[in-house]
Amino acid sequence: MAWNEPGKDDKDPWKNKGGKNQGPPDLDDLFKDLGNKFGGIFGGKSSGGKPGKNFSSIGISLAVIVAVLVYVFSGFYTIKEAEQGIVLRFGQYTGNVEPGLRWKWTFVDRVIPVDIQTTRNLPASGFMLTQDENVVRVEMQIQYRVVNARNYVFSVTNADDSLSQSLDSALRYVVGHSKMDDVLTSGREIVRQSVWTELESIIEPYNLGLIIVDVNFKDARPPEEVKDAFDDAISAQEDEVRYLREAEAYARGIEPIARGRVKRMEQEALAYKEQIVLDAEGDVAKFNKLLPEYQAAPIVTRERMYLATMEKVYANTSKVMVDVDGGNNMMYLPLDKIIQQQSTQPNSATSQPNTQQPVTRSPSTTTNSNRADRFNSGRN
């Protein structure tokens, strides 16, 4: 049922007594009623005029407890494993904190985390003038790491920017004192080392808290207008170096072979010397053994030596000589043996040039008779 139906007490929520005024509520009375209620909670008097001390003490306690809890929990923070924290108390440095869960005074302390383990990269490039007044474009990159968090934060305004400017200055200084050929080809390693040394000498007085881990010489090239000519020059220099390396390799390969050949010839000469000496000593020993036999029986010894010599001389020939007593010597030529020997050894003339030498000079009757008479008479 509605609040303004007939027969009711006419309880108007808008405080319209009697229910005859159906207009909007009075805003002044509404705000006054709300003010009395809140005033009773925080120590004032309620609309009924009763004191609200119990409600005011509870409200204050709750507000204080909530504020304390919020303040305590707002002070917790975490420092990562690769970081180190810089603690500032009212803006003044007080110390460093290690990784882990930490707590600070909110609105009093300030913590600045600094990564001290990650290796950072910083590039530098640009067109630069060399010592011989040529223009080259050089690209270089350095790798660095933070080793002192306090110096990194407070020594300069921005340590990374200061390092970048120092790198550009060191690079231009080194390139300006180097020739273009050194920068483009053979002197790249020297330029890299010089830039590293110069950069460390520049940043040392500033105590940036940084350490240079490595310097990489990425690229160096001439301007595009003359790039083709410089590419040809670099190619020629590379060919020169390659030819020199090939010549050195060839020399290293030939020299051991020549030394080995000389050593082999030397050893062969020594072996030949030893062989000749031993053969001579053997002949002397053989002569010394034959001498007593010859002195004891000269005729028998001469005939035996003659027959041994003839056997050795005619052992490799296909001709047979028949010695007839009291007549002429007769030469016997076994044709079947000659044909068989020629068929089995077609190249005997080239491989054994001295085989037919005893045959070319057939002894005459007078020569053989004289030789026989000389041996028979005992004359030498």
SS3 category, 112: strand
Which pTM was predicted? 0.48
Token pair for 147: 């080793």
Residue with tokens 């609309």: 47
Angle of helix 53-74 versus helix 27-41 axis, rounded to 10: 70
**Interacting residues of 22 by C-beta distance below 8 A, sequence separation 6+:** 4, 16
* Span 167-192, pLDDT tens digits: 999 999 999 998 888 888 778 899 99
| Banded model confidence at residue 369, pLDDT cuts 50, 70, 90 | very low
Euclidean distance between the first and the last CA atom of the chain, given in angstroms as a whole number: 179
pLDDT at site 311: 82
Helices (H) then strands (E): counts for the chain? 12, 10
Average pLDDT value for residue range 340-362? 51
* Span 63-117, pLDDT tens digits: 888 888 888 888 888 888 888 888 998 888 888 888 888 888 888 888 888 988 8
| Residue whose C-alpha is closest to residue 42's, from 64, 62, 57 | 57
3-state helix, strand, coil in the chain (%, to 5): 55, 20, 25
pLDDT at site 218: 87
* Span 299-342, pLDDT tens digits: 888 888 888 888 887 777 766 666 666 666 666 666 666 677 67
| Banded model confidence at residue 375, pLDDT cuts 50, 70, 90 | very low
pLDDT, averaged across the chain:
77
Token pair for 262: 């000389």
pLDDT at site 347: 54
Residue 7, classified by CB atoms within 10 Å of its CB into exposed (0-12), middle (13-18) or buried (19+), is exposed
What is the DSSP secondary-structure string of 132-144?
Answer: TS-EEEEEEEEEE
